[in-house]
Structures are given as C-alpha cells and as structure tokens.
Amino acid sequence: MRIALGVSYNGQAYSGWQSQPSGNTVQDHLEAALGRFAAQEIPTICAGRTDAGVHGLMQVVHFDTELDRAANSWVRGSNTFLPSDIAVQWAQPVPNGFHSRACATARRYAYVLLQSPVRPSVEAGRVGWVFHALNEQAMQAGARYLLGEHDFSSFRASGCQAKSPVKTMHRIAISRRQTGGGAGAAAASAMRPGQHPLECCYWRFEFQGSAFLHHMVRNIMGCLVAIGQGLYPPEWMQAVLAARSRDAAAPTFAPNGLYFLGPVYDEKWGLPSTTAAFDWLP
C-alpha cells in the first residue's frame, strides 16, 4: 500500500528537510515518528526539499508499507511521536503510480516580509525584515521579467544538484497588508516637517513554477528587494536573468520568511491542496 502524507513544519530548529547524519532534519524526525508508530523503518520521498530555517505549510511525502491502517491512524499515530513544530496534517492511500515528486505539475512558495523600522520579535524566524520602504510597482515590473521559461542560472546556488537550470515560472504575485502602525506611528511623531515615516506593513510574495533551483526563491527575493528599495531599476532584473551568472544577482535573502506552500497535482489523485496553516499565514 502506498500512503501520501501532508506535513507542515516550522523550520527554525532544523537543518532543512533532507536527512543528514546529525539527525536534525524534518525528514529524520518524520521517519523516526513513522518508525515508532509502525514498528518498522519507513523511508519517505518528498515533493520538494527545503533549506535550513525554511518552513513548510504542506510538504507532501509518500511511502510504501504492508501495514493496513486507517488514514486517520497515520495522522494521529505519527503526530504522537513528532516534535510540536512538525505535524502530519492528512494521510491518504494513493495508487502505486503516484509519486510525490514526479507527479507534481508545479510547486508553490510564499515569502512573508516585514517592513518596519524595528526588527521583528514575536514573529522572529517566521518573517524576513527590511527597514527601508519598498516600491510595489517597481517590484511588480521587475518580477514580470521572470515569468515564462528561462535559464535561471543567475539565481542558482553553487551547490545546486538540479540537472538543468531551465525552469518555467508560472506566477509571481506581490501584495501588501498594512499594519496598525506600531513603531512606525511612534516614530512619525518625532519626525521633522517634510520627513515621511516608514509605514509598517507585511509584504507577501508568492511564486509558482514548474520546479525551483537551490536558493532560487531567496535569490530572486534579494533582487526584488533591491529593486523595491530603488538600488536598481526594474530592467535590471532582465539583465541579471540574461547574465546566467550568480555574480550578477543580489545576495541571497534570509530563509526566515520563506514557506513551501506545497506541490500542485492533477485532480485525479484527489489530494488536498491546502492545510489549516494556509489561513494563518499573513
């Protein structure tokens, strides 16, 4: 029997998804929990690996087992042995032809960014941070150069193991949610005439593509923020893309605000497309 699981996790405490000798990865903890519940080793295959500090709202994994357990038993049983910041959200039997990675038609990421004169505290590790105001129109214009099929070598980490840097970016959406003011409102009262306070807000960047290279989203974020701050014009993104060189792009942005939203599958598999965590994300 082949089982698919939807797994969510806060990545702050872990060295990424993929199993490592240290044992401190999300995959290591998930397989240990599955093994304790099933009383046998259960290796898993995931839809997309995430780096250290990156979060997952719906990582999808599959595994094969001879055990005949109700789907809900896999959820409750696994969660009994998982740390509090990792949880199986759903479990479902799937045909043997299903493969969590190979059957994915696209993958989705979101980056949540706090724009504020003061660094994050309660949300530390869960959001990125900038203390300069960002220009939404400039970032939107820069993002449009990335849509479609391209060689994304300029946004590829040196250790990337992908066979090809050519990927297709289906969608990039940028939105902003204003906050109540907070430190920005307090700072405004001390401003001299003619000065403008930095507005406090959350930015959300969503990416959907055929697949992503190692550090690709974080490297794109570095470029978008540079454009948003006015360091480069939107056309610079086209030049970075055409260079096909990592040296042409901005530094890799922090992993803190990056969330793997999960893969996209054909409806024939009947798998969920979201989890409850989607409603929490700003």
What range defines the domain where residue 248 resides? Answer: 106-260
* CATH number of the domain within which 250 lies: 3.30.70.660
Residue 163 identity (one-letter amino acid): K
175 with 189, same domain: the answer is yes
Whether 275 maps to a domain, the answer reads no
Question: 22, 1, 35, 16: which is closest to 86 by C-alpha?
Answer: 16
**Number of domain units in the chain:** 2
Between CA 62 and CA 34 the distance in angstroms is: 12
Q: How far apart are CA 115 and CA 106, in angstroms?
A: 29
Residues 69 and 127 in one domain: no
Residue 193's pLDDT band, with cuts at 50, 70 and 90, is very low
Q: What is the pLDDT of residue 277?
A: 85
**CA–CA dist 58, 8 (Å, integer):** 5
Work out the average pLDDT over 182-191: 45
Tell me what the mean pLDDT of segment 170-195 comes to: 64
Report yes or no on 199 lying in a domain: yes
Report, as an integer, the average pLDDT of 140-156: 98
User: CA–CA separation, 259 vs 156, rounded Å?
Assistant: 18
Give yes or no for residue 276 having a pLDDT over 80. yes
Residues 6+ apart with CB under 8 A from 60: 4, 5, 6, 7, 46, 47, 100, 104, 262, 263, 265, 271
Taking residues 116-131, report their average pLDDT.
Answer: 94
Whether 273 is in a domain gets the answer no
Query: How does residue 174 score in pLDDT terms, banded at 50, 70 and 90?
Result: very high
64 and 120 co-located in one domain: no
51 in active site = yes
**185 and 251 housed in the same domain:** yes
Q: Is the predicted pLDDT of residue 190 greater than 50, yes or no? A: no
Q: What is the CATH number of the domain that holds 23?
A: 3.30.70.580
Same domain? For 243 and 130 the reply is: yes
pLDDT at 188 over 50: no
Q: Do 44 and 120 share a domain, yes or no?
A: no
Band (pLDDT 50/70/90 cuts) for residue 198 is low
Query: What pLDDT score was predicted for residue 180?
Result: 66
Q: What is the pLDDT at residue 191?
A: 40
* Whether 113 and 221 share a structural domain: yes
pLDDT classification of 159: cutoffs 50, 70, 90:
confident
Q: pLDDT band at 181, cuts 50/70/90?
A: low
Point out the catalytic residue in the list 28, 51, 64, 247.
Answer: 51
Q: What DSSP line would sit under the chain, residue for residue?
A: -EEEEEEEE-GGGSS-SS--TT--SHHHHHHHHHHHHHTS----EESS---TT-EEEEEEEEEE-S----HHHHHHHHHHTS-TTEEEEEEEEE-TT--TTTT-SEEEEEEEEEE-SS--STTBTTBEEE-S---HHHHHHHHHTT-EEEE-GGG--TT---S-SEEEEEEEEEEEEE---THHHHHHTTPPTT--PPPPEEEEEEEEES---TTHHHHHHHHHHHHHTTSS-TTHHHHHHHHT-GGGSPPPPPSTTEEEEEEE--GGG---S--THHHH--
Q: Is residue 215 part of a domain?
A: yes
Q: Residue 24 half-sphere exposure, CB side, CA atoms within 13 Å? A: 8
Q: Are residues 64 and 121 in the same domain?
A: no
Range in 178-182, 247-251, 268-272, 278-282 with the lowest mean pLDDT: 178-182
